[in-house]
């Protein structure tokens, strides 16, 4: 994966407690380090008429740079234009993944002998 993967659950209720049936999409806000959060992308939700709705959503931000820190929030939008308060903030530092183990130096553990008194 060449980026930062965000995942979040579907909002099911309005702040007043009523069931949400008109989820229209999400706006992902991003900031690099301590800069102000700004809209990065708008993701539509098109499952309003389906029998089974999507419960989890994800987005891969592939416009990130190794060694940089990023902050994200997600805002929900309804089909009639209302927006939610931002989600909790998630912060990440994009680092280089650890290299895979070197097969030349990898050794399998030796099996232990079984005791002689087993039935």
Taking the domains of the chain in order of start, what are their residue ranges?
A: 4-93
CB 72 within 8 A of CB 64: no
Q: Which CATH superfamily is domain 4-93 in?
A: Immunoglobulins (2.60.40.10)
Q: What is the pLDDT of residues 73-104, one digit of tens each?
A: 999 998 888 888 899 999 998 888 777 777 77
How far apart CA 11 and CA 74 sit, in angstroms, is: 11
Q: Answer yes or no: is pLDDT of 118 > 70.
A: no
> What is the pLDDT at residue 102?
74
Confidence of residue 119 (pLDDT cuts 50, 70, 90): low
* Residue-averaged pLDDT of the chain: 85
Q: What is the pLDDT of residues 5-22, one digit of tens each?
A: 999 998 877 777 787 788
Q: Is the pTM of this model over 0.85?
A: no
Burial (CB count within 10 angstroms: exposed 0-12, middle 13-18, buried 19+), residue 40: middle
More confident residue, 118 or 79: 79
Residue 38: strand, helix, or coil? strand
CB 74 within 8 A of CB 6: yes
Q: What is the pLDDT of residues 22-39, one digit of tens each?
A: 888 999 999 998 899 999
């Amino acid at each position: 994966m060449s980026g930062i993967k965000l995942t979040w659950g579907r909002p099911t209720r309005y702040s007043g407690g009523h069931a949400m049936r008109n989820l229209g999409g999400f706006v992902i806000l991003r900031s690099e380090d301590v800069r102000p959060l700004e809209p990065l992308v708008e993701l539509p939700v098109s499952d309003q008429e389906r029998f089974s709705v999507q419960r989890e959503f994800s987005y891969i931000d592939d416009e990130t740079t190794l060694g940089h820190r990023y902050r994200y929030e997600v805002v929900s939008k309804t089909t009639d234009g209302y927006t939610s308060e931002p989600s909790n903030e998630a912060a990440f530092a994009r680092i280089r993944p650890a290299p895979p183990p070197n097969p030349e130096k990898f050794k399998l553990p030796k099996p232990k002998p079984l005791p002689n008194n087993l039935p």
